[in-house]
Structure 1
Amino acid sequence: MIDILLRTLPFFALIGLGYWAGRTRFFSEEATAYLTKFVFYFALSAMLFRFASNLSLSEIYSTPFALAYLSGCVTVYLLATAVAFARKLSMAEAAVEAQCAVIGNTGFLGVPMLTALLGKAAAGPVLMVLSVDLIVFSSLITLLITAARTGRVTFGILKVLGIGLLKNPMIVSMGAGLIWSATRLPVPGPVNDFMGLLGGAATPGALFAIGASLASKSAERIEVAGWLSFCKLVMHPGAVAIAALLIFPVEPFAASVMIAAASLPVAGNVYILAQHYGVAPQRVSASILISTVVSILTVPAVIAWVTGQ
C-alpha cells in the first residue's frame, strides 16, 4: 500500500500544483480552459491513438468485461437515482447525481496514471472503460434530462447525440487507431515519434488542468457531495469488483484494471454537462472537489488491493 501511495503521489502532486496555480490566479480560468482544450483535442488524442493503433479490437473489447462493467455501473446508478428520488428531486437532478456516482476521470487521470502504474497492458481495459463511459452514460444523461424537460425523446436529439459522439476527439482518436491497427501496417516512424512526443504532454498537461480547474470549484452542499463521493470512490469500484470477480468471467488482470478505473474520482465533464443544462452545477462542483481530494488515499488503496501489494 505504501509503495503504491508513493507511486501515485507524483500524479496527485501535479494536480496539487495546478490547484495552487489556479487558486493564486497565476493560472487564470481562461488559461485553464485553453490548456484543457489543448490536452483534450491534441495531447490526449495523440496518446489514445498511439495506444489504440498498437492494439487489436479483441485486446480492447470483451463481452464479459463490458457486461461486468455495465452491471456494476447500472447498480450504483440506480441506487443513486433511487436516493435522489427519495429526496424528492427531479428526474434531471437525479440523472446528474447518478452521473457523479459512476463517471470517473478516466480520460485525464485514468489513462495516464493506470498505464504508468499497471503497465501498457492496462491500455486496452482502460480504453474499454472510457468507451462505455463516453458512449453509454454521456448519452444517457442527455436523454434523461431532455426527456424530463420535454416529456419525449425525438429523432433530432438522437441525431445530435450521434454527431456529438462522432466529433468527440477521444472516440475519433481511438477509432482511428483501431482502424490503423486493423490494416496490420506499422505506424511510420516519424508519425509514431510525433504521436509519442505530443502524447507525452497529455499526462502532465491533463493533471495540471484538473488541479487548475478544481481551484474554481466550491464545496457547497457538503452532505450530498459526500454521499456522491462515497458512491464514486467506494460503491462503484465495489459493485464493479463483485460483477467482474464473482458474476462474469473477466480475465483477472483486465478485472483489476476495471476496478482501479472505477475507483477514480468524479469526472470534470459531469460539471460541464451540469452547467450546460443548468442542473445542480454547485453540487457536482463540490463532488468533484471532495472526491478528488479523498481519492489521494482511496485510489492507491484500491490499486494496492487489486495488485496484491
Structure 2
Amino acid sequence: MLTTIAGALLPVLFMLALGYGAGRAHAFPKDAVAVITTLVLDFALPASLFVSTALVSREALVAEAPLFYALTIVVAAVWGAVFLLGRVLFHHSAAEASIQAVLVSLAAIPFYGQAVLSPIIGAKAGIGVSIGSIVVNVIAVPLTTMALAMGGGGKSASVGKAIGGALLTTLKTPYIVAPIAGVVLVLAGLHLPSLLVAPLQLAGNASSAVGLFVAGLTLAAVKLEITGEMAFNVVAKLAVMPALFVGLAMLFGAKPPIVEQGALLAGLPCGPIAVLLATRHKIYEAESSTALAVSSLAFIATLPIMIVLFAGGHR
C-alpha cells in the first residue's frame, strides 16, 4: 500500500514543489506563466487527450459503458451543484463560479489515474483512466468554457447570441475538440496510424509535468489562505464526489469492479486544468491553486482509506 501511495503522490508533489520553488526564486519573468499555460492547454494537453482516447478499442469502450454513464452523471451533477453554490452561497460571478465548479468536479485523472489504479486493478486500469479522462474533459471542461465565454459576452448581448458564441468558442477549443475527436474515431472503428502515436504521445507527455509546474508557479505568486470555501472545495472533491459515485453505482446495480474503479477515479485530487483556466482568465487563481495543493496533500490520507474500502478484493 505504501508503494502505491508513494508512486501516485511523489511525482505530483515533486512537480508542484519544483514550480513553487521556481516561482519563489523568480526564475521566470511575469509573463512566462501565460506562455507556458498556452503551451499546455493548446498543444500538449490536446495531444495527450486525443491519443489516449483514440487508442481505446471500441469493445473496451462498450464494456466499460456503466463506468462512463455513472461518471458522466456524477461529474455533470457536481459541476451544476457547485456552480449554483458558488453563485448563491459564495456570491461569485458566473465566471468565478464556473472555475470553482470545474475545480471540484474535474478529478486529476490524467495525472494520477494510471499511477493509482494500475497497482490495484492491473492491466484494465488504462481503460478506466481513458474513460474517466474522456468524461471529465468532455463534460466539465466544455461547461466551464461555455460559462467563461458567456461571462465575457457583454451586457448588451442577447441570451441566444451569448449561448451561440459560447458554443462556438467551445468547439474551437483544442483541449475539448481533441477527446471528442478521439471518441468519434473509436466509435467509427477507425485506427490511429501507428506512425502518429509516438509523436502525439511525445507532445502529450509534457501536459502532466508542465501543468503541475505551472500550478506550483501560480501557488508561489498568491497568498495561501485556508478558508471555509477552500475546505468546502477539498471535502467536496475528495469525499462527497466518490460517495456520490458509489451511491449511484449501487442504485444502478453496477458490478464491484465498476464501483471500485469509479470511486477511486472520482476521489482523485483537484485537476491542474482548473488552475490553468483560472490563470488564463485571471480569476479564482488563489483559491484554485490552494485547493490543488491542499487536496494533493490530503490525498495522502484519503487514498489508503479508499484502497481499504473499495479495492480490498484486488490486494
TM exceeding 0.5: yes
For the 8 Å contact 1:274–1:280, the answer to whether it is kept is yes
Q: Which residue of the partner structure matches residue 306 of structure 2?
A: 302
Aligned counterpart, 1:10? 10
CA distance in 2, matches of 1:251, 1:136: 30
Partner of 2:177: 172
The CA distance in 2 between the partners of 1:4 and 1:110, in whole Å, is 11
Q: 1:79 to 1:215 in 2, by over 3 A?
A: closer
Aligned in 2, Cα 1:184/1:91: closer, same or farther, shift over 3 Å? closer
Instruction: Please say if residues 217 and 289 of structure 1, whose CA atoms lie closer than 8 Å, have aligned partners that are also in contact.
Output: no
Cα pair 2:20 2:219 within 8 Å, conserved: yes
Distance in 2 between residues matched to 1:281 and 1:201, nearest whole Å: 22
Alpha-carbon distance change, 192 to 255 in structure 1, aligned in 2, over 3 angstroms: same
Deviation at 1:131, TM superposition (A): 1.7
Distance (Å, rounded) in 2 between the aligned partners of 1:193 and 1:82: 43
Deviations 1:121-150 (A, max 9, x none): 22123322332212345546766x689x96
2-structure distance, mates of 1:187, 1:156: 37
Classify the secondary structure of the residue corresponding to 1:161. Answer: helix
- Which residue of 2 is the match for residue 261 of structure 1? 265
Aligned-residue CA RMSD (Å) = 3.8
> For 1:134 and 1:211, how far apart are their aligned partners in 2?
21
Corresponding letter in the other structure for 2:11: F
1:121 pairs with 2:143: no
Instruction: Sort the Cα spacing of 1:181 and 1:115 in 2 relative to 1 into closer, same or farther, 3 A.
Output: farther
Q: CA deviation at 1:105?
A: 3.7
Displacement after TM superposition at 1:186 (Å)? 3.8
Change (3 A) 1:257 1:131: farther
Aligned residues: 304
Match of 2:138 in 1: 131
Using CA pairs below 8 Å that are at least 6 residues apart, which structure has the higher relative contact order? 1
Q: Residue type matched to 1:209 in 2? A: V
Residue equivalent to 2:215 = 210
How far apart, CA to CA, are the structure 1 residues paired with 2:227 and 2:251? 35
Q: Shift of residue 71 of structure 1?
A: 4.6
Deviations 1:57-108 (CA, angstroms, capped at 9, x unpaired)? 6744777545533554426853784597467x3674666655544333445x
Aligned match for 1:231, one of 219, 224, 236: 236
Change (3 A) 1:71 1:171: closer
5+ residue gaps in structure 2? none
Matches for 1:142-161 after TM superposition, within 5 Å: 154-161=159-166
Deviation at 1:154, TM superposition (A): 0.8
- Work out which of the residue numbers 68, 71, 92 in structure 2 matches 1:69: 71
How big is each residue's C-alpha offset from its partner over 1:215-258, in whole Å with a ceiling of 9 and x where there is no partner? 223223623212222122211222222212x2124454444333
> Kindly tell me: are residues 259 and 29 of structure 1, through their superposed partners in 2, closer, same or farther at Cα, counting changes over 3 Å?
farther
Q: Is the 8 A contact 2:61 2:127 kept in 1?
A: no
Structure 2 distance, partners of 1:48, 1:233, is: 23
Matched residue, 1:102: 105
Alpha-carbon distance change, 258 to 33 in structure 1, aligned in 2, over 3 angstroms: farther
What does residue 204 of structure 2 align with?
199
1:55 aligns to what? 56
8 Å CA contact 2:147–2:166 kept in 1: the answer is no
Residue from 284, 288, 300 that aligns with 2:292:
288
Q: Which amino acid aligns with 1:124?
A: I
| In structure 1, C-alpha distance between the alignment counterparts of 2:307 and 2:45, rounded to whole Å | 23
CA distance in 1: counterparts of 2:263 and 2:145, whole angstroms: 20
For 1:39 and 1:276, how far apart are their aligned partners in 2? 11
Q: Give, as a single letter, the amino acid of the residue that structure 2 aligns with 1:188.
A: P
Comparing 272-281 and 124-133, the one that deviates more:
272-281
Contact map agreement 1:50 1:195 (CA 8 A) in 2: yes
Q: For 1:166 and 1:57, locate their aligned partners in 2 and report how far apart those are by CA, in whole Å.
A: 24
Q: Is the 8 A contact 1:29 1:213 kept in 2?
A: no
Q: Check the 8 A contact 2:37/2:280 in 1, yes or no.
A: no
User: Kindly tell me: are residues 167 and 78 of structure 1, through their superposed partners in 2, closer, same or farther at Cα, counting changes over 3 Å?
Assistant: same
Aligned to 1:24: 25
TM-score of the pair, normalised by structure 2: 0.75
**Residue type of the alignment partner of 1:131:** V
CA 1:256 to 1:37, structure 2 compared with 1: closer, same or farther past 3 Å? farther
Q: Note the C-alpha offset of 1:158.
A: 1.1
